[in-house]
């Protein structure tokens, strides 16, 4: 898998470059996407963005709409799906039967869900681990099937999401009566109250995420990319990666364009705004594929490694550990249960805080790499998954 995959099964220079660079950069996008969710004193803007109060906020919000929102999640899902295939094939190459390898993947997914529960309930972070653990359980059966079954499943699932996602968001936004959503945190939150609420709501949250957001098509697309080794042997697929990047970025940009007009140049009815939001999510699938393909292309072209590339790769190898770390730091700095900066800063400053947190994780990951130490959560997950083997 992508986030929980232990770096020790990554073999080959190109594979490590493409996937680890992508994972390291992905953590920045996720931190930037989650930071606005804590700005409880700001008026809602568009979707989960806080309203801009200065020019810098406007720039950050527009950048987020075009390049982060519903694109970081899709990139995560693509890499996750790719990692499922890698993990499965790694076990098969070691002589394990398909049934045993499949059970290992499913067990890993269950532990990923458990890690997500711990993050949501006890740390209070914005969790996506539960949703991707459930996705692993949903799609794992395809690991033993031929490409035809995978392509057929991708087609059916994607069509269903294309039909229902805009409509669901149309009615959702109409019911809310606003173009944006108020943050779920408030000034009166305490650690105990948020933990109790999370304890009650965590079984529902990942189900709602899968219902409202098109995660599964991106996971399945990542599995398809892995079948053709687009990121593990990118030097053999440069033209294909270039094509996916250009088409994906174009579709992603065009899908974000209507949403960027809402609230400023365009004031549609709330139902129409919801349809546009659904379109933004669906075209984000293309954006996530493009981002993954771009890092595949970089992996194929990169010959001279420097401090930045080495640090990004070190972070990518420990993406589970530093995903949880980044979420914990966002809670520490922005949440009302800790330092409460989320009640005092605007969206632009929150983005700078998120970038600073990610930069710190980059430094810490580099130190771990220099000392030849894996991430502690990667080590824990591996022990839990393989303790009975």
Looking at residue 388, its pLDDT comes to 60
User: Is residue 38 a part of any domain in this protein?
Assistant: yes
Looking at residue 246, its pLDDT comes to 97
User: Is residue 289 a part of any domain in this protein?
Assistant: yes
User: Is residue 1 a part of any domain in this protein?
Assistant: no
Kindly report which listed range (8-17, 181-190, 321-330) carries the lowest average pLDDT score. 8-17
Q: Could you give the CA distance from residue 33 to residue 171 in angstroms, rounded to a whole number? A: 24
Per-residue pLDDT tens digits for 264-281: 889 999 999 999 999 999
Looking at residue 10, its pLDDT comes to 38
- How many domains are there within the chain? 1
CB 290 within 8 A of CB 244: yes
Per-residue pLDDT tens digits for 295-312: 999 988 887 778 889 999
Per-residue pLDDT tens digits for 239-270: 999 999 999 999 999 999 999 999 888 999 99
pLDDT at 5 over 60: no
Per-residue pLDDT tens digits for 49-103: 999 999 999 999 999 999 999 999 999 999 999 999 999 999 999 999 999 999 9
User: Is residue 2 a part of any domain in this protein?
Assistant: no
Q: Give 1's pLDDT tier (boundaries 50, 70, 90).
A: very low
Looking at residue 16, its pLDDT comes to 64
Q: Could you give the CA distance from residue 349 to residue 355 in angstroms, rounded to a whole number? A: 10
Per-residue pLDDT tens digits for 19-46: 999 999 999 999 999 999 999 999 999 9
Q: Could you give the CA distance from residue 300 to residue 235 in angstroms, rounded to a whole number? A: 5
Residue 219 sits in which domain range? 7-386
The token pair at 80 is 């996750």
User: Is residue 231 a part of any domain in this protein?
Assistant: yes
User: Is residue 141 a part of any domain in this protein?
Assistant: yes
CB 172 within 8 A of CB 212: yes
User: Is residue 50 a part of any domain in this protein?
Assistant: yes
Per-residue pLDDT tens digits for 193-230: 999 999 999 899 899 999 999 999 999 999 999 999 99
262: β partners: 266
Looking at residue 380, its pLDDT comes to 96
* 61 vs 13, higher pLDDT: 61
Looking at residue 76, its pLDDT comes to 93
Looking at residue 9, its pLDDT comes to 35
CB 44 within 8 A of CB 181: yes
CB 237 within 8 A of CB 296: yes
0.75 cut: is pTM over it?
Answer: yes
Q: 3-class DSSP state for residue 334?
A: helix
């Amino acid at each position: 898998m992508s986030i929980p995959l232990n770096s020790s099964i990554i073999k080959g220079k190109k594979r490590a470059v493409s996937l680890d660079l992508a994972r390291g950069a992905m953590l920045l996008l996720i931190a930037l996407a989650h930071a606005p969710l804590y700005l409880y004193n700001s008026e809602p803007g568009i979707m989960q963005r806080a309203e801009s109060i200065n020019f810098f906020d406007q720039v950050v919000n527009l950048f987020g709409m075009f390049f982060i929102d519903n694109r970081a999640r899709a990139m995560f899902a693509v890499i996750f799906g790719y990692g499922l295939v890698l993990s499965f094939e790694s076990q098969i190459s070691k002589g394990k039967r398909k049934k045993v390898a499949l059970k290992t993947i499913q067990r890993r997914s269950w532990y990923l869900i458990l890690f997500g529960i711990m993050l949501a309930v006890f740390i209070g972070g914005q969790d996506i681990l539960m949703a991707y653990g459930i996705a692993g359980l949903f799609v794992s059966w395809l690991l033993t099937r031929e490409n035809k079954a995978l392509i057929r499943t991708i087609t059916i699932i994607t069509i269903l999401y294309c039909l229902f996602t805009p409509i669901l968001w149309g009615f959702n936004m109409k019911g809310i009566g606003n173009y944006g959503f108020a943050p779920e945190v408030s000034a009166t939150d305490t650690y105990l109250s948020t933990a109790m609420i999370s304890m009650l709501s965590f079984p529902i949250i990942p189900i709602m995420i899968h219902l409202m957001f098109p995660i599964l098509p991106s996971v399945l697309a990542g599995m398809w990319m892995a079948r053709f080794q687009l990121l593990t042997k990118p030097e053999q697929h440069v033209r294909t990666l270039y094509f996916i990047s250009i088409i994906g970025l174009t579709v992603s940009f065009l899908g974000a364009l209507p949403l960027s007009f809402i609230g400023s140049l365009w004031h549609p009815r709330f139902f129409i705004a919801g349809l546009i939001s659904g379109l933004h999510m669906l075209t984000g699938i293309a954006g996530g594929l493009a981002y993954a393909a771009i890092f595949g292309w970089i992996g194929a072209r990169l010959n001279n490694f420097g401090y930045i590339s080495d640090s990004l790769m070190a972070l990518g190898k420990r993406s589970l550990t530093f995903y949880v770390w980044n979420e914990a730091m966002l809670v520490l700095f922005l949440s009302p249960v800790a330092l409460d900066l989320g009640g005092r800063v605007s969206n632009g400053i929150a983005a700078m805080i998120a970038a600073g947190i990610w930069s710190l994780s980059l430094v810490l990951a580099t130190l771990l790499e220099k000392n030849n130490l894996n991430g502690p959560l990667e080590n824990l997950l591996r022990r839990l998954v393989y303790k009975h083997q």
